[in-house]
């Protein structure tokens, strides 16, 4: 609608208008759209009031009921019935495809997400990456791109030499089988503690990693086993979150793909020696990018270079996204710079999508030492809390455990996604699970409430809008904006735009439903049923884009 109005105004405006020229007034008596004419006064050498009057007088369009000039603004009032009829019929006909577009032209976008490290707990940071990355993938898909979700497992690096050494010295098979990540983490911590006393352990660790890189059968077998056991634990979390991946090619996958990259860097004359290591110099503004250590071992950056090139060759992406915490910004800037020095123009299409920390009591939630927050525990706790609420408030509900899972997980997803990803977020399970306020359960509950009205009213085959009150109009205007909201969220790779929109729509619906006696007024029932049906369609779709489930009863 905004674009339509803009076009109409364009045809009568003496000067070109930009999209942001058109405002949405906060108060209904000021119209549905308003065009402030102050910026044109200088160019046209007329007062804003006169310009507004001239424009208002020349507007004529079936979608516009009236245009008023007030204090230098043109206030535009839409034809509520016509617009509502159009939009509700569109939504009911299109269903969940409402808001979809082909804008992406099937272009492939690779998304590096989740990427936990084996033998280490799945951290809050990995949760954020998983949840944000998954939502971005869903948004891209809705906008006509082909997302490819890559879980770049951290399964390579010098730390595995240390872990192998620690396991051989102090570990045993049974403990690992029973609680893989917990046991391996303990061994890793023990390694560091003992290495403080006995520095020769570090040499042993380095040698073990070298053996692993060189393909030593014994080392490889142990490493593989650690990996399998760790992945089993991660999988439980992915199942709870309902996230799937297109590829699990992690760091180890690039073990034999790095040599060609190092050679290419050498051929292009980009490698220089620094303290025995091989680096790419990146000038004054940032530290050099480390490619190879003095003992020949490769580094995180080397693997990311190989992975970036491999992804371009495999997928021919139009865009390559990395959903990784703020703290790795320098790393990704360096990788991009090296690619550009290598002459790869597509390096420009690589985007680090950073996010902030999850805090508890103002401090980073840490996975180090004693403060292990096992994410699975957090998720289980959320589900249990949801379960208890259901037992209390709706004891006869069917599928209680499914609903509890949808609500518990939805609460965590939503509290993460409702804020701009760059912000740090405070973790508080109780407040995430509130059914009031800007929470996942609030959106889910609103949708379930709408479904319950639909069950009572019954579905309609045809309807005609003949009268629209202010509550209905606010809701319909929001419904109408959904496609633009999806577009903006996709363009900005920002799921919080969808989350905020879902809150607005849920609030508008609740105030409509609280103020209008829907079921008792039979003349308006078909139209209002269509309106409520449209609300469920759009709320459900918004939740789906956030990775949340939308139970019809709760």
State the residues that interact with ligand ARG by CB under 6 A: 112, 115, 117, 152, 154, 304, 322, 324
Question: What DSSP letter does each residue of 189-224 carry, written as one string?
Answer: HHHHHHHHH-THHHHHHHHHHHHHHTT-HHHHHHHH
- For strand 108-112 and strand 319-323, is the pairing parallel, antiparallel, or unpaired? parallel
Q: How far is 430 from 347, CA to CA, in rounded Å?
A: 43
Tokens for 134? Answer: 């998954």
Q: How far is 114 from 130, CA to CA, in rounded Å?
A: 4
Q: How far is 523 from 7, CA to CA, in rounded Å?
A: 36
CB of 357 to ligand ARG, least distance (A): 13
- For strand 425-426 and strand 358-360, is the pairing parallel, antiparallel, or unpaired? parallel
Identify whether the C-beta of residue 461 lies closer than 8 Å to the C-beta of residue 516. no
Of 253 and 512, the one with the shorter C-beta distance to ligand ARG is 253
CB of 152 to ligand ARG, least distance (A): 5
Write the burial class of residue 190 (CB in 10 Å: 0-12 exposed, 13-18 middle, 19+ buried): middle
CB of 330 to ligand ARG, least distance (A): 12
Of 110 and 496, the one with the shorter C-beta distance to ligand ARG is 110
Of 145 and 322, the one with the shorter C-beta distance to ligand ARG is 322
Write the burial class of residue 483 (CB in 10 Å: 0-12 exposed, 13-18 middle, 19+ buried): middle
431-437: list long-range contacts, CB under 8 Å, 24+ apart: 432/382, 433/382, 433/385, 433/386, 433/389, 433/407, 433/408, 435/389
Of 114 and 536, the one with the shorter C-beta distance to ligand ARG is 114
Of 120 and 449, the one with the shorter C-beta distance to ligand ARG is 120
150: which residues sit within 8 A by CB, 6+ positions away? 110, 111, 112, 113, 245, 246, 247, 248, 249, 311
CB of 92 to ligand ARG, least distance (A): 42
CB of 485 to ligand ARG, least distance (A): 29
CA dist 530 → 93, 261, 305, 524 (Å): 11, 59, 53, 10
CB of 150 to ligand ARG, least distance (A): 8
Q: Which residue shows structure tokens 């391996």?
A: 184
Residue nearest to ligand ARG (CB): 154
Of 115 and 165, the one with the shorter C-beta distance to ligand ARG is 115
Of 124 and 554, the one with the shorter C-beta distance to ligand ARG is 124
CB of 313 to ligand ARG, least distance (A): 16
CB of 117 to ligand ARG, least distance (A): 5
Of 304 and 541, the one with the shorter C-beta distance to ligand ARG is 304
CB of 303 to ligand ARG, least distance (A): 8
CB of 155 to ligand ARG, least distance (A): 9
Of 152 and 160, the one with the shorter C-beta distance to ligand ARG is 152
Nearest to 353 by CA among 546, 137, 143: 137
Of 152 and 167, the one with the shorter C-beta distance to ligand ARG is 152
Of 304 and 494, the one with the shorter C-beta distance to ligand ARG is 304
CB of 234 to ligand ARG, least distance (A): 12
Query: DSSP secondary-structure letter at 119?
Result: T
Of 84 and 302, the one with the shorter C-beta distance to ligand ARG is 302
Rounded (10°) angle between helices 496-515 and 470-491: 170
Q: How far is 142 from 94, CA to CA, in rounded Å?
A: 14
For residue 154, the tally of other CB atoms under 10 A from its CB is 20
Q: How far is 107 from 49, CA to CA, in rounded Å?
A: 48
CB of 288 to ligand ARG, least distance (A): 18
């Amino acid at each position: 609608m905004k674009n339509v109005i803009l076009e109409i105004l364009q045809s009568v405006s003496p000067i070109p208008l930009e999209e942001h020229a058109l405002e949405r007034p906060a108060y209904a008596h000021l119209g549905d759209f308003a065009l402030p004419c102050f910026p044109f006064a200088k160019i046209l050498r007329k007062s804003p009031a006169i310009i507004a009057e001239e424009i208002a007088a020349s507007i004529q369009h079936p979608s516009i009921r009236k245009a008023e000039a007030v204090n230098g603004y043109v206030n535009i009032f839409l034809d509520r019935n016509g617009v509502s009829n159009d939009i509700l019929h569109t939504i009911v006909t299109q269903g969940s495809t409402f808001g979809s577009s082909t804008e992406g032209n099937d272009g492939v976008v690779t998304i590096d997400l989740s990427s936990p490290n084996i033998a280490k707990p799945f951290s809050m940071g990995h949760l954020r990456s998983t949840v944000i990355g998954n939502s971005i993938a869903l948004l891209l898909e809705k906008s006509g791109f082909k997302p490819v979700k890559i879980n770049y497992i951290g399964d390579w690096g010098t730390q595995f030499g240390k872990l192998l050494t620690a396991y051989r010295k102090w570990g045993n098979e049974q403990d690992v089988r029973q609680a893989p990540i917990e046991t391996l983490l303990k061994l890793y911590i023990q390694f560091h503690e003992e290495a403080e006393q006995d520095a020769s352990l570090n040499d042993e660790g380095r040698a073990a990693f070298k053996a692993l890189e060189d393909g030593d059968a014994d080392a490889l077998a142990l490493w593989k086993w650690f990996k399998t056991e760790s992945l089993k634990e991660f999988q439980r979390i992915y199942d709870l979150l309902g996230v799937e991946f297109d590829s699990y090619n992690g760091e180890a996958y690039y073990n034999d793909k790095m040599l060609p990259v190092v050679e290419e860097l050498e051929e292009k004359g980009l490698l220089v020696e620094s303290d025995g290591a091989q680096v790419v110099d990146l000038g004054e503004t940032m530290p050099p990018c480390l490619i190879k250590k003095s003992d020949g071992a490769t580094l995180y950056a080397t693997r990311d270079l190989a992975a970036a090139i491999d992804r371009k060759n495999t997928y021919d992406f139009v865009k390559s996204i990395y959903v990784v915490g703020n703290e790795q910004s320098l790393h990704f800037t360096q990788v991009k710079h090296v690619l550009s020095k290598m002459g790869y123009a597509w390096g420009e299409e690589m985007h680090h999508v950073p996010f902030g920390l999850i805090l508890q009591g103002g401090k980073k939630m840490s996975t180090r030492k004693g403060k292990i927050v096992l994410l699975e525990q957090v998720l289980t706790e959320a589900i249990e809390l949801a379960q208890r609420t259901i037992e209390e408030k709706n004891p006869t509900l069917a599928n209680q455990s499914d609903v509890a899972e949808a609500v518990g997980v939805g609460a965590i997803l939503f509290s993460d996604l409702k804020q701009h990803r760059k912000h740090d977020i405070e973790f508080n399970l109780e407040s995430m699970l509130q059914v009031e306020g800007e929470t996942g359960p609030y959106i889910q509950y609103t949708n379930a409430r709408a479904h319950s009205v639909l069950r009572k009213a019954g579905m309609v085959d045809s309807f005609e809008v003949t009268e629209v009150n202010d509550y209905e109009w606010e809701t319909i205007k929001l419904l109408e904006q959904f496609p633009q909201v999806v577009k903006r969220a996709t363009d900005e790779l920002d799921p919080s735009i969808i989350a905020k929109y879902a809150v607005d729509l849920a609030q508008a619906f609740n105030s409509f439903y609280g103020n209008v006696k829907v079921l008792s007024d039979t003349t308006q029932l078909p139209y209002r049923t269509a309106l409520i049906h449209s609300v469920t369609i759009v709320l459900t779709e918004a939740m789906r884009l956030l990775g949340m489930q939308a139970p019809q009863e709760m």
